[in-house]
Amino acid sequence: MKALYYIKTTLKGMFANGVVTIAYFILFPILLACFMAFFNNLNDENPLKLKALNVQIVDEDNTENSKKLIELLGSDDFKEVVNIVDKKPDVELVIKEGYEKNVLSLNKGDIIINKKVEGMGMSTDTLKVILDRYHQSLYVSIAGGDMENLNRIMESSIVEDITIDTVKTNNPYEKISASMIGFVVTMLIFTMIQGGYADISVNLDKRINATPITKLQYLFYDTMALIVYVFIIISGYVIFFRVAGLSFKGNILDLILLILMGTMLVVSMSKSISTIFGPKYGKIIGTIIFTLPLISGEIFSGEGNKIALLTPTHYLNNAFNLYNLNGNLEGCGKWILIIITMSIIIYSAAIIKAVIQGRKKVCA
């Protein structure tokens, strides 16, 4: 009863400024995520903008004609349409063995386009047109006056097939909404650490039936209250995107588990830091935790630099990204294990600190 009363009283205080809480922790991240995702989506889907296509060429024929084709695509005339690369291509252009033989005999050539990324449809179609027009001109010079063969080849396409071999990726809303969870988490951790040093436990004896409690009991009571509070905040953010049909559309039980992981991360870090360290160092650590994800760039872009590996939100972001991608926890096991292990180790340090202080009374 004592614990329940404390949780109820503490939550009442936390949600006293409900409008401010919702605006700061839920609405602001939602608006920011939607704003960034909208413009990312607009940029990706601009139908008037033809992007240069990164093409990796696999020459299985290795003949004079296949080399001429490669030289043509790599020329300055097509640099705004085609960019020849050795890795991370948008499409893979395969010149099959027997290509030159088929061209010289006025048969349909063997060229295959394998799409490696989603989108880029207009650029891929443009590449196909370029290949068709080039080979039609080539056939004209080879065919001479043989109109029958020339008409036959003009009616066919040099590109044998366009296969889709893409790696599934999240759309801008799924990508940004998942990464912005890191922003919500860092704001919560920072705020909880700052609040942990505030004098919120004045007259605590009146709150808990005037009964003395130990440091360890206080740690557990406050932890339970924070778990409820943080879970509600993160759930509010996630539920908006799910109800709107923009993100987090997979299995609901798996989603709840990930929200619990985020809750565990926030509570364990904030309570441990405010318990182990004094106000001076604790607030400095809280500021660092809040700043690192911003410096890494992962929160606002979904992709961070090496600094992202040092941030606790990196592992949570990865788990939510995989959930959006697969609709379940497939591939999330490693990240969930890291979050649980990290949370247990950090919180255990807080418990040890509270135990060392013994049964020192928080209130009397």
In whole angstroms, give the CA distance from residue 325 to residue 341.
Answer: 24
- What's the length of the chain? 364
Q: What is the model's pLDDT at position 75? A: 82
Nearest of 282, 276, 315, 300 to residue 189 by alpha carbon: 282
Contact 293, 186 (CB under 8 A): yes
Q: What is the model's pLDDT at position 267? A: 92
In whole angstroms, give the CA distance from residue 221 to residue 207.
Answer: 12
| 164, two tokens | 């889709």
Strand-pairing partners, residue 114, are: 92, 163
Q: What angle in degrees, to the nearest 10, is found between the helix axes of 252-276 and 279-296?
A: 140
Q: What is the model's pLDDT at position 100? A: 81
Q: How do the pLDDT tens digits run along the chain, 364 residues long?
A: 566 766 666 666 666 666 666 776 777 788 877 777 777 666 555 544 567 788 888 888 888 888 888 888 888 777 778 888 888 888 888 888 888 888 777 676 678 888 877 666 777 778 788 887 777 777 777 766 555 555 555 555 545 444 444 455 667 788 888 888 888 898 889 888 887 776 444 444 345 444 566 778 888 888 888 898 899 999 999 999 899 888 898 899 999 999 999 999 999 999 999 888 888 888 888 888 888 887 877 776 666 667 777 788 888 988 998 898 888 998 889 999 999 999 999 999 999 988 887 555 544 4
Domains, the chain = 2-40+170-356 (no CATH), 53-164 (3.40.1710.10)
In whole angstroms, give the CA distance from residue 45 to residue 353.
Answer: 54
Per residue, the 3-state secondary structure of the chain, as one string, reads CHHHHHHHHHHHHHCCCHHHHHHHHHHHHHHHHHHHHHHHHHHHCCCCCCCCEEEEEEECCCCHHHHHHHHHHCCHHHCCCEEECCCCCCEEEEECCCHHHHHHCCCCCCEEEEECCCCCHHHHHHHHHHHHHHHHHHHHHHHCCCHHHHHHHHCCCCEEEEEECCCCCCCHHHHHHHHHHHHHHHHHHHHHHHHHCCCCCCCHHHHCCCCCCEHHHHHHHHHHHHHHHHHHHHHHHHHHHHHCCCCCCCCHHHHHHHHHHHHHHHHHHHHHHHHHCCHHHHHHHHHHHHHHHHHHCHHHHCCCCHHHHHCCHHHHHHHHHHHHHHCCCCCCHHHHHHHHHHHHHHHHHHHHHHHHCCCCECCC
Q: What is the model's pLDDT at position 264? A: 94
Model-level pTM greater than 0.75? no
